[in-house]
Amino acid sequence: MAETVKVDIPHKLTREAARGRIEGGFASLRQDMLGGVVKFEDTWTGDHLDFRAKVMGQTVTGRLDVLDDNVHVEIDLPGFLAAIAGKLKGKLQKEGTLLLEKK
């Protein structure tokens, strides 16, 4: 059964700074996936990001909204990948917090 992972990651940055860090994070992610195993697409509309990744014949879609004090992420996992939802949520929370720490 498909599952949606939802995570809110607090930040103390401006929206612009938070978005910039997220854009940088997605650029790194895209660069890491150049081997062709994962096809990755993302589209920004204002402070809203729609993204899609295709891996092992499965499609993962998601949405991300940069807000004043947090980033809200939702990722739709197909049934095949739903088993990793808990791990993914923890990893998103940890990595997202590191990415958005005020430096």
Q: What is the pLDDT of residue 99?
A: 92
Task: Answer whether 71's CB lies under 8 Å from 65's CB.
Answer: yes
**What pLDDT, on the 0 to 100 scale, is given for residue 55?**
76
Which residues are CB-neighbours of 57 under 8 A, at least 6 positions away? none
Q: What is the pLDDT of residue 1?
A: 83
Q: Show the tokens assigned to 101.
A: 């720490």
CB atoms within 10 A of CB 77: 21
Tell me how far apart the terminal alpha carbons of the chain are, to the nearest angstrom: 40
Cβ 28 vs Cβ 18: under 8 Å: no
Report which DSSP code applies to 101. -
Q: Which residues of the chain have pLDDT under 70?
A: 33-36
- Residue-level pLDDT at 30: 74
